[in-house]
Amino acid sequence: MDIGKITFLLNDEPVTIYADPAESLLHLLRDQLGCMSPKEGCGRGECGACTVILDGKAVNSCLVPAGKAAGKNIRTIEGISDGKSVHPLQRAFVEKGAVQCGFCTSGMIMSAYALLAENPAPRQEEVKRAISGNLCRCSGYKQIEEAIMTAAEEMNENRVRFVEKEQKE
Amino acid sequence: MSYFTAASLDEALNVLREAKGKALIIAGATDLFLKGMPSQAVDIASLPELGMIVEEQDYLSVGAAVTHAAAASSPLIMVKAAALAEACAAVGSPQVRNLGTIGGNLVNAAPAADAAVALAALGAKAVLCDIDGRRRVEELGNLYAGYNQSRIDSSREIVLNLIFKTCQFNEGSAFARFASRRALSLPMVNVAARVGLENGVFAEVRLVAAPVKPAPTRLFKTEEALLGKEPNEETRQMVEELASAEVKVRGSLLRCSADYRRHLIGVLAGRVLMAAVRRVQDKEES
């Protein structure tokens, strides 16, 4: 096993680590960087529990060789809020009862986060499609879809409020 | 292992040349990562020259490193090669489509790879470049050595792009697959068609089904029987019968029996054909 130096941005912070580039990004995040939100479910790109955002796109971190992370910007659920308040998606998941055992939740939220970044006002069908690569075995898809729709609305209302405030000032 | 992210095509070819067969090209790596990474990898996924979708006169060139997600949402592909957009949208999951590339889909050589089936129906050819800088153009069928085995030697050549004629005003294409679930499921069958109509009858038909042989398989007999026929319910039924009679398929314990697969190929052949026809009619009406 050859160890290489890998530098990338993790939630906007530059990190440099020494790792086998054939290791999965998932293991790198969990075992070396202590970033525990991506979960290992199937380990073969079928369950989405390990979903992270790589340069703006949702990917299965279990299928990404660590070497591919070099120079990229990686976002996990640790990096979607400011640490003081929760992200609207996180709040909506709690309020809508979209969390049961919680194993799929961070992956679900990262898929939803990637969707809302590209499409701030998705239709129900588009939400379903965006989380079609994330399995929930407690079978709470309905609440999860509702939570994502609710978060999208809240984020759009916040944007309107922000613009109105700007205009007043 | 060593991992090299190439910044240009020349750089990638140089590394392959110097490694003397020990380094392998990788792109999205979604399939390769599970099979086992090579000891030396040359990552070409972010090469700008392989990531482009370009229309030149009547032809469309799709870079080998274009992801399934990018192809599925490309307005050019949606309008000029709808079958490919539909096929790419059907692969795996959003996460896999964001990583997996069209070129990788071909080199992985799975017998029922969605993108490969659509590309075969569109009549696409692959442009390859080897470590000596020699370029060649290959029919898709020539790229397969057997089930899940590609003729492309990733230690000495790179697929650059796929080229095919765009669908003209009188042409349309469509793709359909059948799987146990709509996401994250390998297809039991996938079928794609490209049709050209003249004076209301079929003037050109390419109908491709998989998995039938190692490579996506054209249904020549069915295609021929369609020429000169009007697209209507009677024709659709004829296609259903002919297509399922034409293929010799294998069953799979995991996915479906040979009989069911043959039946599905007939049904989907009829569907994609009529969907492709509707795309021509929509253009004529608008």
pLDDT tens digits, residue range B134-171?
999 999 999 999 999 999 999 999 999 999 999 999 99
Nearest CA to B233 out of B177, B192, B186, B273 is that of B273
Closest CA to B2 of A37, A65, A25, A169: A65
pLDDT in tens, B22-48: 999 999 999 999 999 999 999 999 999
Pairing state between β B40-43 and B2-5: parallel
Specify whether A23 is located in the same domain as A93: no
What are the tokens at B169? 């005003």
The third-level CATH classification (topology) of the domain covering B47-165 is 3.30.465
Does A123 lie in the same domain as A69?
no
A13, A62: one domain: yes
> In chain B, which stretches have pLDDT less than 50?
none
**Structural domain ending residue among the three candidates A27, A53, A79:** A79
Q: Looking at residue A157, which CATH number applies to its domain?
A: 1.10.150.120
Q: What is the pLDDT of residue A56?
A: 96
Query: A21 and B29: CB-CB below 8 Å?
Result: no
Under an 8 Å CB criterion, which residues of B touch A? 1-3, 5, 26, 29-30, 33-34, 37, 41, 43, 45, 69, 92-96, 98-99, 182-184
**Domain identity same for A160 and A95:** yes
Question: Does domain B171-285 match CATH 3.65.10.10?
Answer: no
- Determine the pLDDT at residue B159: 98
- Compute how many other C-beta atoms are within 10 angstroms of the C-beta atom of residue A123: 10
Residue A94 and residue A40 in one domain: no
Same structural domain, A103 and A53: no
Q: Which of B67, B93, B185 to mutate to test the interface with A (most CBs of A within 10 A)?
A: B93
Domain boundaries, chain B: 47-165, 171-285
Q: Chain B within 8 Å of A110 (Cβ-Cβ)?
A: no
Interchain pair A63, B1: CB under 8 A: no
A1 pLDDT above the threshold of 50? no
Residue A114 has pLDDT above 70, yes or no: yes
Give the total number of structural domains in chain A. 2
How many Cβ contacts (< 8 angstroms) between chains A and B?
90
- Going across the sheet that includes A13-19, the strands are A13-19, A4-10, A73-75, A51-54, A57-60
Is the ipTM value over 0.85, yes or no?
Answer: yes
Residue A97 backbone dihedrals phi, psi, to 5 degrees: 65, 35
**Pair (A104, A64) in one structural domain:** no
Supply the range of the domain harboring residue A158. Answer: 88-168
A105, A147: one domain: yes
Q: What is the largest CA-CA distance in chain B?
A: 60
SS3 B74: coil
CA distance B38 to chain A (A): 9
